[in-house]
Amino acid sequence: MGGGFAITMTPALPMSPAERHAQLVREIDAHNYRYYVLDDPLISDAAFDALLRELRALEDEHPDLVTPDSPTQRVGGEARTSVTQVRHAVRMMSLDNAYSPEELAEFHRRVVEGLPDGEAPRFCVEPKLDGASVEVVYERGRLVQASTRGDGETGEDITPNVRTIKSLPLRIAHPGRLTIRGEVVIYRRDLEALNAEREAGGLEPFANPRNAAAGAVRMLDPREVARRPLRVLLYQVVEAAEIAATQHESLAWLEEHGLPTHRRHTVVDWDGVQGAIDAIDRARDGYPFETDGAVIKIDSLRHQDVLGMTSKFPKWAMAYKFAAEQARTKLLDIVVQVGRTGALTPVAALEPTPLAGTTVSRATLHNADVVAALDARKGDYVFIQKAGEVIPQVVGVDTEARRGHPARFRMPEACPVCGTPVVRDLKDAEKPELGLEAATRCPNRACPEQVKQRIFYFARRFAMDVDHLGTALVEQLVDGGIVRDVADLYALSAERVADLERMGDKSAQNVVASIARSRERTLDRLLCGLGIPQIGQVAARQLAEEAGTLEQLLAWTPEQAREHVYAIRGFGPKMVESVVAFVQDPEQRALLAKLQELGVGRPQPRAQVASEGPLVGASFCVTGVLSRKRDDVHADIRAAGGEVHDSVKRTTTYLVAGDKTGKSKLDQARKYGTKVITEAQLGELLRGGGQG
């Protein structure tokens, strides 16, 4: 591995602050590379955080040591207020498309014609990454500029946003000016986590990684961008002749310099091109990123030069697009659902049809604008597709197959559940960059459907984790006026529940016991369950740690709330405003006070990991039945400097396996090389018995 990415161990000799600073910067860069580019971290998240903390402390003490390429400087301060244009030195072209082997053969014919007699080109076949294109420029080894493609001639300056992408080094070992192009993407697994977080914060999940990535690169506030798990995968060096003779060598050069590439290309003769394309098509489900086709490039840069370009495309490359898997089915109805925030969402009720491995009977239509753009009407035959392989979506209407004159869909003027006149939220419509469109909502917070949805949400695993709260039960509780908000759940008696239809004594007791147990959840879980806009699981935990208790949260004046929340790391202005609005809202305050009186929500422990102790640098996942409560074991581990993981991750050092440890945990441990130990062995380690 070149580019100064060797990881050095901290020597015992004392160092000057400047030397230590340089060393920390190198180490952190190297760990970022292992983590984000190679996907193969060497140290735990906690050990990494410790390095970053040390660097921050050092820079606080010696501000003169801070350089723009320090890892602490990735997220620059202020939001942009305007957009600066950047002229591309070499035009960013799009690619000519082929959809069939015939069109591909045609491409080959033109290539052979354009090259000197007898020269048979080789081809570099790569995945076509589905994200947003960027150009980055390094000068004297420093990342100095990043821009969007724009119209090809000029793009937008997005340097502060791209600097937040940790897989992209801020420094490289190359003295000259270097312009590189690539794609900003979000890995599928990262999108799942991001969507869970958004959902927990009451935001609409992204339909696919591309939308999430494309929206993020142009956002005005780099702090918001830093919250999105963006990555860059580079695929082209502009004017690469300086560093290589072929496309595949220029990709290798990028890798050697610690720059992220897709690492999925093959070099073949013409005979091998179709096979290489098919191989990518078969393998792409297993790639971490979305791939919507293959790009076939002439490998030799000299050949590329000879062929040149048209006004739109390079003549030496071709994109081969894969067809997304689609199905055609009947749209039985468009039903309008009311969500927990009152948002009205049109949903397609479909004749059940198989699609990419599952049977689909519902698909989201997002909002009225989407339905209007599709012009989907009841009884139509529609095409559906899985967006980012998660949520099925209606992508088109087979208008030829329409019979008669079905009415156009219209959003109802009143809530279909409570009859309250709806409101159109125009403020969302003005922010297309957030992926939000005009939302229609029922403004009645007491709307029975909203109350039901809030209860289901409150009960979810990541929030208060209440079992046995089924649909039939919640409907009876809310429709019968027995429960008006989540706090009322805690006043339910088993007798009252047993009186309801289809509820036996046993299930009534189960549900009431499960509700009672949820009183013990910590404040972060409670805040999560209340669904504060913009605040997901991680943010809820930070907020809970800042407040400590529900009392304290309620005691804050608006000024204090703003001050406290503003100080939380990573909280942007929107999050601050959302929390301040939430704690000042009279209805929310009343609910919080009611919950406090009912004794719901434990004080939030500060999850301090000790910086010294026998377990520093080690991480643990504790599972199975132990002689003590799991929380107590966690506390002991943290007090000894160890880190606690909820599940066995690649970076977990030890799995502490109690009785009845699940097979899946053990399998994970085997997969990641995590050492499996007993509770007694953990005791040894805690007493300083040495890790090994």
- Interface positions with ligand AMP (CB under 6 A): 94-95, 126, 128-129, 133, 149, 183, 235-236, 295, 319
Instruction: Choose among Zn ion, ligand AMP, none what residue 128 binds, the Cβ cut-off being 5 to 8 Å by kind.
Output: ligand AMP
What is the spatial distance between Cα 58 and Cα 19, in angstroms, rounded to a whole number? Answer: 11
Residue 233 has phi, psi (to 5 degrees) of -120, 120
417 binds Zn ion (CB under 5 A): yes
Of 412, 384, 386, 411, the closest CA to residue 398 belongs to: 384
Residue 244: CB minimum distance to ligand AMP, A: 16
336 binds Zn ion (CB under 5 A): no
Asked if residue 672 lies in contact with residue 649, where contact means CB atoms within 8 angstroms, the answer is yes
195 versus 367: smaller Cβ distance to Zn ion: 367
Instruction: Choose among Zn ion, ligand AMP, none what residue 415 binds, the Cβ cut-off being 5 to 8 Å by kind.
Output: Zn ion
In terms of Cβ atoms closer than 10 Å to its own Cβ (0-12, 13-18, 19+), residue 348 is buried
**Beta strand 643-644 with 619-623: parallel, antiparallel or unpaired?**
parallel
Residue 264: CB minimum distance to ligand AMP, A: 9
Residue 527 has phi, psi (to 5 degrees) of -65, -40
Instruction: Choose among ligand AMP, Zn ion, none what residue 447 binds, the Cβ cut-off being 5 to 8 Å by kind.
Output: Zn ion
Residue 28: CB minimum distance to ligand AMP, A: 29
Residue 95: CB minimum distance to ligand AMP, A: 4
Find the binding residues for Zn ion in span 418-447 (CB under 5 A).
418, 442, 444, 447
Instruction: Choose among Zn ion, ligand AMP, none what residue 418 binds, the Cβ cut-off being 5 to 8 Å by kind.
Output: Zn ion
235 versus 556: smaller Cβ distance to ligand AMP: 235
What is the spatial distance between Cα 536 and Cα 524, in angstroms, rounded to a whole number? Answer: 10
415 binds Zn ion (CB under 5 A): yes
72 versus 211: smaller Cβ distance to ligand AMP: 211
What is the spatial distance between Cα 63 and Cα 11, in angstroms, rounded to a whole number? Answer: 24
> Which residues lie across from 330 on neighbouring strands?
381
What is the spatial distance between Cα 56 and Cα 68, in angstroms, rounded to a whole number? Answer: 14
166 carries an active-site annotation: no
Of 129, 355, 407, the closest CA to residue 260 belongs to: 129
Residue 124: CB minimum distance to ligand AMP, A: 9
295 versus 637: smaller Cβ distance to ligand AMP: 295
Residue 131: CB minimum distance to ligand AMP, A: 7
310: how many CB neighbours lie within 10 A of its CB?
A: 9
183 versus 524: smaller Cβ distance to ligand AMP: 183
343 binds Zn ion (CB under 5 A): no
Instruction: Choose among Zn ion, ligand AMP, none what residue 178 binds, the Cβ cut-off being 5 to 8 Å by kind.
Output: none
Instruction: Choose among Zn ion, ligand AMP, none what residue 70 binds, the Cβ cut-off being 5 to 8 Å by kind.
Output: none
Q: Which of 128, 166, 297, 386 is catalytic?
A: 128
71 versus 293: smaller Cβ distance to ligand AMP: 293
Find the binding residues for Zn ion in span 564-583 (CB under 5 A).
none
Instruction: Choose among ligand AMP, Zn ion, none what residue 95 binds, the Cβ cut-off being 5 to 8 Å by kind.
Output: ligand AMP
What is the spatial distance between Cα 438 and Cα 430, in angstroms, rounded to a whole number? Answer: 8
296 versus 486: smaller Cβ distance to ligand AMP: 296
49 versus 278: smaller Cβ distance to ligand AMP: 278
Residue 128: CB minimum distance to ligand AMP, A: 4
Name 247's Cβ contacts closer than 8 Å, sequence gap at least 6: 124, 236, 240, 265, 297, 298, 299, 300, 301, 304
Contact segment (CB under 5 A) with Zn ion among 152-160, 169-177, 196-204, 415-423 equals: 415-423
| Region for residue 502 given its phi and psi (left: phi exceeds 0; alpha: psi -120 to 50; beta: otherwise) | left
Name 429's Cβ contacts closer than 8 Å, sequence gap at least 6: 436, 437, 438, 439
Of 485, 478, 476, 532, the closest CA to residue 503 belongs to: 476
350 binds Zn ion (CB under 5 A): no
Report DSSP letters for 499-531, one per residue: TSTT--HHHHHHHHHHHHHGGGSBHHHHHHHHT
Asked if residue 534 lies in contact with residue 568, where contact means CB atoms within 8 angstroms, the answer is no
- Catalytic residue IDs: 128
Q: Which residues bind Zn ion (CB under 5 A)?
A: 415, 417-418, 442, 444, 447
